[in-house]
A and B are shown apart, each in its own frame.
Chain A
């Protein structure tokens, strides 16, 4: 008996060690990024000490001074916000349509929505770019980043899953009260879905904030760049890649997400779990 208990102890300690090791691997890049951003350039490449010998905020100043970072921060922010707002509205609307109504072809249409998940963005990036440029004249505007992916399959699926759990009685009661359908959606459905909206909102915001390939294609001019594009522009040659500034920029572009993550992580975690299982 005592032997069994001791064996259990050993196993438990081993499990904690494995968890700690993997967690360390997960967190280390964040620490490394932060530490490197506080080092003068030569220290980054001497690699003698983990912590900076001469702590400095100079890299952050350089990042904002050398690049259009303030502008890019704003671009990233408003594009991500607008994308999230529009996307939430349209996905909730679509999810509501599929979850709370029976209409001919519903199953088929919904299956189609799910099937569209198999269209990888890279397969359409070239023609989409040509459209943006030649037909819409949307190059160097935020529209290509906001509109095309606003109503996406994942979001509709996600909202539908949540809305299935809304009791029909609430909606019917509103109908009997004479509320119009749009009013029911705005005044009854959306408030009830707040938790799901927050979860989906965070996912969409992160995806938009971090987007790279599409902004790289449709935002050629530096004044329209988002943060990832500014970071990438720092990479040489010609000239040396200023890893010190680059790391400071990386911190700037990651910090808002880390803070948001820590604040909303419960919502995000439960959202991702809810969005994936029931399928």
Chain B
């Protein structure tokens, strides 16, 4: 058994191959016995039961008229046809797109810049800054955060306008105009997720060998040039990952618009999820909501795929040029 003793360092190299082969066969035996499949099975069982089946069920429902009560009546494509003309639903999609433009570019850029700063030796107390910037993550998507922002952004009593008044800026109708409401919502989401995205970028940065930036510096490149020509291109996969998360996150907003603005004013901040929720639980149009869910799902998949294709095509292009 001494051969198998882990702590024995003094084995001759000649023994090693046989030993490895023996162990490999053991692992193979475990594999053949189906252990790994058993280990990954819970995921697939739960996914099939609680995601795949609901997706199918939802498809089934989307061709029916059902109010949660009584039988579901087959109505063919009527839900989809009605949905096509449902300006409110498309408005909710548009809102997400607009909201995305309101905060995601700014948030991504900020996250990137902050990550670069915190990755450089330029800034001290990195741990402290990282903690402070990341802190709001623990309140992301919470009821408490939405109410706190509601109070802070109150046109009359909120501290946002008090602060602006202090700076000599006239009060802003944070929640009372369509665009300001979108901006307020964007602020809340950005507040919660900036630190998270910064961490993702920071992780990506730490995987980049420092020699690359060093070499550029030796070649006489300034910090901004290094950032634009070295850091950003190398970090592109991570940036794409972060933006993809932001797309899905923005289109999945629910708690924030429900509690901060209740989808208003004039539906400017209503989201697809709010529409699905409202149509199901307030209006009992379950089939219609199911159709909505499917369109919503399709849009997200298309967006994610589009981004993936664009990125990979660009990669191929760059590679060809290289």
Contacts and interface: CB of A to CB of B under 8 A. Distances in A.
B20 to A, nearest CB: 8
B101 interface: no
Interface in B246-262: 248, 251-252, 254-255, 259
A27 B4 contact: no
A250 B148 contact: yes
A229 B46 CA distance: 26
Given A175-B23, A212-B141, A247-B148, A261 B51 contact: no
A157 to B, nearest CB: 11
Contact of A22 (B110, B142, B281): B110
B162 A47 contact: yes
A29 B144 CA distance: 10
Nearest to B120: A15
Given A47-B156, A47-B159, A150 B272 contact: no
Interface stretch (A53-61, A77-85, A190-198, A267-275): A267-275
B191 interface: yes
A45 B151 CA distance: 9
A100 to B, nearest CB: 8
Contacts of B151: 32, 36, 44, 243, 247
B132 A26 contact: yes
Interface in B188-234: 191, 194-196, 199-200, 202-204, 206-207
Given A101-B31, A123-B293, A247-B148, A169 B142 contact: no
Interface stretch (B36-44, B177-185, B309-317): B36-44
Contacts of B265: none
Contacts of B157: 44-47
B138 A254 contact: yes
B40 A32 contact: no
A234 to B, nearest CB: 9
Interface string A151-182: 11100100000000000111111011100010
A219 interface: no
A131 B297 contact: no
A72 to B, nearest CB: 12
Dominant secondary structure of chain B at its interface with chain A: helix
B37 A33 contact: no
Interface residues of A, number: 97
B112 interface: no
B134 interface: yes
Contacts of B248: 118, 120
B98 interface: no
Given A47-B157, A47-B158, A27 B132 contact: yes
A212 B142 contact: yes
A274 B200 CA distance: 9
Interface in A246-279: 246-247, 249-251, 253-254, 257-258, 261-262, 265, 269, 272-274, 276-277, 279
Contacts of B204: 277
Given A50-B159, A173-B6, A119 B203 contact: no
Interface in B41-61: 42-44, 46-47, 49-51, 53-55, 57-58, 61
A128 B31 CA distance: 34
A-B pairs with lowest CB-CB distance, top 3: A97-B39, A250-B144, A101-B36
12 contacts: A26-B132, A94-B40, A100-B36, A123-B294, A124-B50, A168-B27, A169-B6, A170-B6, A176-B4, A181-B33, A212-B142, A253-B144
Interface of B: 4, 6, 22-24, 26-27, 30-31, 33, 35-40, 42-44, 46-47, 49-51, 53-55, 57-58, 61, 68, 110, 114, 117, 122-123, 129-145, 147-149, 151-152, 156-159, 162, 191, 194-196, 199-200, 202-204, 206-207, 238, 241, 248, 251-252, 254-255, 259, 272-273, 276-277, 280-281, 286, 289-290, 293-294, 296-297, 300-301, 304
Given A168-B27, A175-B27, 15 more contacts: A22-B194, A23-B132, A93-B39, A123-B296, A125-B276, A130-B68, A169-B6, A173-B4, A176-B22, A185-B39, A231-B143, A250-B143, A253-B144, A254-B138, A265-B134
